[in-house]
Amino acid sequence: MCARRGGVATLAAAIVLVLGACGRETVPPPPPATSASPASAPPTERVVGPLSQEDARALATMNDRLKQYVELHVKLEESLPKLPKDATPLQIDKNQRMLEKLVREARATAKPGDIFTPEAQPVIKRLLATVFGGPDGKQLKSSIMDENTVVPATIKLTVNARYPDVVPLTSVPPQVLQTLPKLTEDLEYRFVGDWLILLDTHAHVVADYIDDALPK
Amino acid sequence: MRPRHLFSIALLLVWAVTGAGCRDAGIAAEATRIDGQHPSGEPTVALPNKGGSFKFAVLGDFGIAEQTQYELADQMAKLRQRFKYEIVVLVGDNLYGSERPQDFQTKFEIPYKPLLDAGVKFYASLGNHDAREQRYYKLFNMDGKLYYTFSPKSDIRFFVLESTYPVPEQIEWADKELKASGNNWKIVYFHHPLYSSGERHGSDLRLREVLEPLFVKYNVSVVLTGHDHFYERLKPQKEIAYFVVGSGGQLRKGNIDRGTGLTARGFDTDLVFMAAEIAGDEMYFNAISRTGQVVDAGVVTRRKTKP
**pLDDT tens-digit series, residues A163-192:** 988 888 888 988 888 888 889 989 999 999
**Euclidean distance between CA atoms A102 and A72, whole angstroms:** 10
Give the mean pLDDT of A142-169: 84
Considering only residues A22 and B136, tell me which one the structure prediction assigns the higher pLDDT. B136
- pLDDT beyond 60 at A26: no
What's the structural domain count of chain A? 1
**In this structure, is residue A152 part of a structural domain?**
yes
Smallest CA–CA distance from B139 into chain A, residue: A86
The strand order across the sheet containing B148-153 reads B148-153, B156-160, B185-189, B222-225, B241-245, B231-234, B263-267
Residue B51 falls in which region: left (phi positive, over 0), alpha (psi -120 to 50) or beta: beta
**In this structure, is residue A123 part of a structural domain?**
yes
Residues in A touching B204 (Cβ below 8 Å): 143, 171
Q: Which of B105, B138, B204 sits opposite A143 (nearest CB)?
A: B204
Domain with A67, as residue range(s), is 35-210
Residues in A touching B125 (Cβ below 8 Å): none
**In this structure, is residue A1 part of a structural domain?**
no
Q: Which of B138, B163, B210 sits opposite A171 (nearest CB)?
A: B163
Q: Which domains does chain B have, with CATH numbers?
A: 3-301 (3.60.21.10)
Band of pLDDT at residue B5, cut at 50, 70 and 90: low
The confidence score (pLDDT) of residue B45 equals 53
- E strands, chain A, where? 187-192, 195-200, 205-210
For residue B294, list its beta bridge partners: B288
* Cβ–Cβ gap B210/A174 under 8 Å: yes
Q: Note which residues in 179-218 of chain B have CB less than 8 A from chain A.
A: 192, 201, 204-207, 209-210
Q: Is B163 on the interface with A (CB under 8 A)?
A: yes
pLDDT digits (tens, 9 = 90+) for B237-266: 999 999 999 999 999 999 999 999 999 999
pLDDT digits (tens, 9 = 90+) for A191-206: 998 999 999 999 999 9
* Cβ–Cβ gap B138/A178 under 8 Å: no
The confidence score (pLDDT) of residue A10 equals 43
pLDDT digits (tens, 9 = 90+) for B271-298: 999 999 999 999 999 999 999 999 999 9
Residues in B touching A141 (Cβ below 8 Å): none
Band of pLDDT at residue B41, cut at 50, 70 and 90: low
In Å, how far is B192's CA from the nearest CA of chain A?
9
Model confidence pTM above 0.80: yes
Q: Which of A87, A95, A171 sits opposite B192 (nearest CB)?
A: A171
* Cβ–Cβ gap A172/B165 under 8 Å: yes
**In this structure, is residue A73 part of a structural domain?**
yes
**Amino acid found at A19:** L
**Euclidean distance between CA atoms B113 and B121, whole angstroms:** 11
Band of pLDDT at residue B43, cut at 50, 70 and 90: low
Smallest CA–CA distance from B171 into chain A, residue: A174
**Euclidean distance between CA atoms B297 and B288, whole angstroms:** 9
The confidence score (pLDDT) of residue B239 equals 96
For residue B278, list its beta bridge partners: B54, B283
Band of pLDDT at residue A43, cut at 50, 70 and 90: very low
Do the bridges between strand B185-189 and strand B222-225 make them parallel or antiparallel, or are there none, so unpaired? parallel
Most confidently modeled of A13-22, A121-130, B190-199?
B190-199
In Å, how far is A10's CA from the nearest CA of chain B?
34
